[in-house]
A and B are shown apart, each in its own frame.
Chain A
């Protein structure tokens, strides 16, 4: 039985990985990332409630499969656990993985459904000494990390933050739109009225957009918003076929979130933090391909430095970090950070959905 008290490397130097949930994220994101990290990891056990999925995905990587979480957690060959099941199972599975004495846990976002649940998980992590990483991949992107090391006094002077996302067609569109509220029917656009969206569908799109898409950048946003707890949603609008325009404010910061999914071939994922004298621009690579890190630019009147691109992206970055933590090196993200990130995202998702009821929206003008 492995125990987090004994974090020395495996005899052959690689860590055994067990994965709970073998859906698209496991298949399209984590297995390809792990395939690039064979010196650090070996996938040994895949569990999914659907036995056919578990078996077929496990066979691709030569791993054992099961349909029971307990079976995977009891597998002595599994050192670290990745939780890639639907979000409502995350809390229980993270807790169980910590209690099973694994060396480290990677939990896909969101790692809980509310702040109290997040706090309970963090308490179990502290009690068992098992570090937890949440899959906020952009925070592990080498381009972002290089910017963070170079930005100096930028966070104090920033007054405006922008996150702009344009995504090409993506079969995962429905997951983004509906994973939180579980209303698959709500995301289907009506072809005859291109800019008319039923209010319930619009609210679902806003929640899904924030918790599925904006959530990747909200931890970055929060780095520049010391008074994040006072965030207020001023405006929220949806785009067709999927996307959002959300305006936020705190006492000291203006925050604008944009996302659009259309049929373009040209993706864009840009994060900007702008102050009186300096501006950070980070351009991330598309999520589902391994096309290296983000590039970051820090501009100050008349000059700019560019950082990156580096050879790996944030998904690989999060696994590298997990390997460090499992070996007792490095610092796990503080529990407070994970809880604050989650609560920040939830308050924006709730606020955007509520704000949508404002009577000034275009949907009333175009639905006539």
Chain B
């Protein structure tokens, strides 16, 4: 049985998460709240782990956190203990194509020769935030972050290097520019071809692209016209209907820990 859930968004989450538009596009699942809401949407700026606890205390059944910053692993673990279902709406990793990309990538990782990834964001974006969003995508593709180390970082981006499970190099670069739209691309080359994933920002439902290349040609996998924002909300509804808790916070704890290790930076409430 599916019930319609009421939603309240804090003003920053309304902007960063496009909450009204998403709720309007899911009119059977969600609707705006007059008073106390079933679902609370929060912006992921510093202090979000405390706000998750507060929302749950106020009776929210579910919480959506838009682009969370890398707070301490302990604070993230504490937030994960609430009774509320917490779904993270992350710029790139919440795109609905990521799951298909992860499956497709499995066939390429065993004999991978290189993983090369570039995240592009507007000038002024903090390197730590860009890196957090970048690592969240890499992790959700099923690639471990343990070997990564920071090669350099500055106001216009960063470079990180590590290795895949088979020892092949992994190179991640963040670049700030307004010349092209923000996006994150990941290329994995193996002995006979490779996989290229390009994930757009969630401000429109432009689809991510997954192009797989093998000896018989290149194939564009079917595109999904749903933004990362909307995909997060449909996922949360499924979890609540099924009475399951999302594992977003546990996975994000690993991302945050990698960000801390690489940058020495820990966002604090």
Does A360 lie at the interface of the complex (its beta carbon under 8 Å from any beta carbon of B)?
yes
Provide the B181-193 mask, 1 if CB < 8 A to any CB of A, else 0: 0000000011111
The A/B interface has a contact count, at CB < 8 Å, of 124
B213 and A258 contacting across the interface, CB-CB below 8 Å: no
A258 and B179 contacting across the interface, CB-CB below 8 Å: no
Does B228 lie at the interface of the complex (its beta carbon under 8 Å from any beta carbon of A)?
no
Provide the B155-171 mask, 1 if CB < 8 A to any CB of A, else 0: 01101011100111101
Does B116 lie at the interface of the complex (its beta carbon under 8 Å from any beta carbon of A)?
yes
CB-contact partner of A279 in B113, B177, B191, under 8 A: B177
Does B180 lie at the interface of the complex (its beta carbon under 8 Å from any beta carbon of A)?
yes
Does A50 lie at the interface of the complex (its beta carbon under 8 Å from any beta carbon of B)?
no
Task: Enumerate chain A residues within 8 angstroms of B111, measured Cβ to Cβ.
Answer: 194
Residue of A nearest to B153 (CB): A254
Does B178 lie at the interface of the complex (its beta carbon under 8 Å from any beta carbon of A)?
yes
CB-contact partner of B192 in A237, A264, A275, under 8 A: A264
- Give chain B nearest CB distance to A19 CB in angstroms: 36
- Give chain B nearest CB distance to A246 CB in angstroms: 10
B167 and A196 contacting across the interface, CB-CB below 8 Å: yes
Task: Enumerate chain B residues within 8 angstroms of A264, measured Cβ to Cβ.
Answer: 189, 192-194, 213
Choose, from A5-13, A159-167, A322-330, A342-350, the stretch at the interface.
A159-167
B179 and A235 contacting across the interface, CB-CB below 8 Å: no
Does A95 lie at the interface of the complex (its beta carbon under 8 Å from any beta carbon of B)?
no
CB-contact partner of A360 in B118, B149, B171, B218, under 8 A: B149
Task: Enumerate chain B residues within 8 angstroms of A277, measured Cβ to Cβ.
Answer: 177-179
User: Interface residue tally of chain B, by bracket?
Assistant: 35 or more
B178 and A276 contacting across the interface, CB-CB below 8 Å: yes
CB-contact partner of A263 in B157, B175, B191, under 8 A: B191
Q: A160-B156, A245-B161, A260-B113 are in contact. Are A234 and B167 (CB under 8 A)?
A: no
Residue of A nearest to B194 (CB): A264
A239 to B215 alpha-carbon distance, docked (Å): 20
Residue of A nearest to B154 (CB): A254
In the A-B complex, the 8 residue pairs with the closest CB atoms: A195-B167, A366-B167, A279-B179, A362-B163, A159-B156, A237-B169, A235-B151, A299-B179
Given contacts A234-B151, A275-B179, 6 further A-B contacts (CB under 8 A): A239-B113, A239-B114, A254-B152, A258-B171, A363-B167, A365-B147
9 pairs, A vs B, C-beta closer than 8 Å = A162-B118, A235-B161, A247-B151, A247-B152, A254-B152, A262-B194, A265-B193, A279-B177, A365-B147
